[in-house]
Structure 1
Amino acid sequence: MSLFGGAAAANANPTQGDLSKDVQVSDPPTDSISDLVFSPASDHLAVSSWDNKVRIYSIDQNGQSSGVAYFEHQGPALNCCWTKDGQKVIGVGADKAARMLDLGAGQTQASQAQQVAVHDQPIRCCQTIVANGTPMLVTGGWDKLVKYWDMRSDKPAGQLEVKDRVYTMDVRNDMLVIGTAERWIEVVNINNPMSTYKTIQSPLKWQTRVVSIFSPEANGYAIGSIEGRCAIQYVEDRDQSNNFSFKCHRQQTSKDVSNVFAVNAISFHPQHGTFSTAGSDGTFHFWDKDAKHRLKGYPEVGGTISATDFNRSGSIFAYAVSYDWSKGYQGNSPNLPNKIMLHPITGDECKPRPKTNKR
């Protein structure tokens, strides 16, 4: 018996994915969804949104969901993350603050959340790390600073000045990757967090929307941009020959014209090392970077996709169907969809292509 009560229906096109088994999360946010992330320890999902809230949902094996906790910012919540033990949820937002709810201590009410970090400008990103044996919160803001916090103190343990406003950030193992305005990408070794290990300008020509570190090997990262392109970048010079970029999230309208959509989210499967891209065109795709091959492409979901994540086992792929602000304030409308969908991973959807022996 597969997750959500049945295997996906067979399709005549082996690269055409099936959405028929996808399940909607109950009681979604009331405004645009900025981020969603699964707990590393359980099937709980944290979701940040422009209605100022960070919500936590419990996800059952049958795809049913229920809200278990939430807390509020004093402005749009722009990002969220979990501590490595899955006990605490942190949100950051336009109110220039990071706030934390300790689920492990039984906290479920908004009044129990505590402020654990502050910047001089809105905080766009947050991640948690273990640096030299100490659990830390990392926040990246539009003040061009990345700050490190021992959450028992109201003062940062240190900070790193980066090239420009922080737009996106990811961490895995000992690597922290930061994407900023003006297409700068900075790589930090978290065992030496006060200095940058390597800085490049994105090989993509337009604004960076997302960076995501390879899983499980963490020896490089993927970049998604507003131009409907994704770049695969390895960190060390010896691997640079493996770097490449490719077009995605584009719709051909005529022989010489295509519509180009932003790549809003990139998520790596925790076991297989394959990855997803999702965009403003309302589609998501699964890719094998080593084979340079698309595994599956999925039909439009009825709205832009603003955020995605795999759960810890890789059996569920969550995606937010929500306005992504790619057309500014004018492009928003109360009629746009706002929902979180759970897609069960079945069969070989995310498995890499079999390697063939070359003669």
Structure 2
Amino acid sequence: MATPQYELSDPPSDAISAIKFAPASLQLLVASWDKNVYLYDTSESGGKLLRTYQHRAPVLDVCFGDNDEDAYTAGLDWDVRRLNLSSGDQTVLSSHTAGVKSLVHSSQHQILVSASWDSNLNIHHLSSPSNPPTSIALPSKPFSISLTATKLVVAMASRALQIYDLASLASASSSPSQATDSQTQAAIPISAEPWQRRESSLKFMTRAVACMPNDAGYASSSIEGRVAVEWFDPSPESQARKYAFKCHRQANEEGVDVVYPVNALAFHPVHGTFASGGGDGFVALWDGVAKRRIRQYQRYASSVSAVAFSGDGKFLAVAISPGFEDGREGVGEGVVKVFVRTLGENEAKGKGMK
């Protein structure tokens, strides 16, 4: 029986940093170190490359906006851009002072959040595009961000995490005395206290963070083959539920575990289970509530650099790239490919789910 997955034709020519499905279709955006963003139609086997959007530097993250025509990109040119996928027009929304690692978009609150290695978050108020973005200083360099309907989780260096209330971020704006010419794209600093400050349950550097679709908590991963699952509720009873587990480790000939970074996490939008992708070339599905692995897929030819579920949860996209086996993005030689897997009806369901 043939495997229910296929490889996208015309893949990027360099390491893949991010992949994202459109909100309401099977269009897939792929960000690459080759300085391009790629748009594919994955509705048919083999996929179809619809368009390529050139940037000035490697692109580190990409996300869709409210619809399939609107997207946002960011990377090593320090800029946060709005990308019209139909016309190809690019508009710079703000500029950081270092590379921009992550982007997330909230339709409910009409904001776009960018996290940069300059240790700042830029909050772009999309309902008021003429207003300059606001900026929040972070205590450490951000490595990954993710959001729910109400919260933003920021995973940083020094094992620090901060959780923000999205409504508060959306309402934060500059005062009239601070207003500047929006054409300068300069973000205006504001003071915004996080809803919670936490220390990671993992002992080594955080690699990725992903929020649960039910707004209850998040999972984070480290460079040392571990994933932690935590809940937002600060009560002692809820915090007692948090846990961490080992994964993405392979025994060598001497029987000693070789540990790989867990590069990517993504929650299933319907079942609330999650996928992890590691430097060992494997993708696994997990039931975070039952604390069990549901399944592990075949080993890919390179490290898994990104994973994403489609909006309806029926498809899983997997990007593989060299250099991610030890956390060094964009370094090394090897296979760069994107696979799209059709999920069976019960394939991503947790244990005991109806």
Deviation per residue, 1:193-242 (Å, 9 max, x gap): 23311111111011101000012x11100001000000001111221111
Of residues 175, 181, 190, the one that matches 2:166 is 190
Q: Secondary structure at the residue paired with 2:168?
A: coil
Q: 1:163 offset after TM fit, Å?
A: 1.8
Which stretch of structure 1 is more off in the superposition, 281-290 or 248-257? 248-257
Q: 1:93 offset after TM fit, Å?
A: 0.4
In the TM superposition, 1:199-348 aligns within 5 A as: 199-215=197-213, 217-238=214-235, 239-253=238-252, 257-327=256-326, 332-334=331-333, 336-348=334-346
CA distance in 2 between counterparts of 1:329 and 1:283 reads 17
CA distance in 2 between counterparts of 1:56 and 1:75 reads 18
Aligned 8 A contact 2:323 2:330 in 1: no
Instruction: Name the Cα RMSD after superposition.
Output: 2.1
Q: 1:87 offset after TM fit, Å?
A: 2.8
CA distance in 2 between counterparts of 1:330 and 1:235 reads 30
Q: 1:333 offset after TM fit, Å?
A: 3.5
Query: Structure 1: any 5+ residue segments left out of the alignment?
Result: 1-8, 10-18
Moved over 6 A (4+): 328-331
CA distance in 1 between counterparts of 2:22 and 2:247 reads 29
Deviation per residue, 1:127-169 (Å, 9 max, x gap): 11246x5x22111001110011135647643222112111111
TM-score (norm: length of structure 2): 0.88
Deviation per residue, 1:35-64 (Å, 9 max, x gap): 00101121111110101111111111x333
- Give the residue type in structure 2 aligned to 1:181: A
TM-score (norm: length of structure 1): 0.86
Q: In structure 1, what is the equivalent of residue 116 of structure 2?
A: 141
Q: In structure 1, what is the equivalent of residue 80 of structure 2?
A: 98
Q: Secondary structure at the residue paired with 1:182?
A: helix
Q: In structure 1, what is the equivalent of residue 148 of structure 2?
A: 172
CA distance in 2 between counterparts of 1:286 and 1:83 reads 27
Q: Secondary structure at the residue paired with 1:192?
A: helix
Q: Percent identity among equivalent residues? A: 28
Q: Secondary structure at the residue paired with 2:201?
A: coil
Q: In structure 2, what is the equivalent of residue 82 of structure 1?
A: 64
Q: Secondary structure at the residue paired with 2:239?
A: helix
Q: 1:330 offset after TM fit, Å?
A: 11
Q: In structure 1, what is the equivalent of residue 189 of structure 2?
A: none
Is the aligned partner of 1:121 residue 2:98?
yes
Aligned 8 A contact 1:127 1:171 in 2: yes
Q: In structure 1, what is the equivalent of residue 14 of structure 2?
A: 31
Report the number of matched residues: 329
- Give the residue type in structure 2 aligned to 1:120: T
Structure 1 159/213 Cα, relative in aligned 2: closer, same or farther at 3 Å? same
CA distance in 1 between counterparts of 2:152 and 2:292 reads 27
Structure 1 296/154 Cα, relative in aligned 2: closer, same or farther at 3 Å? same
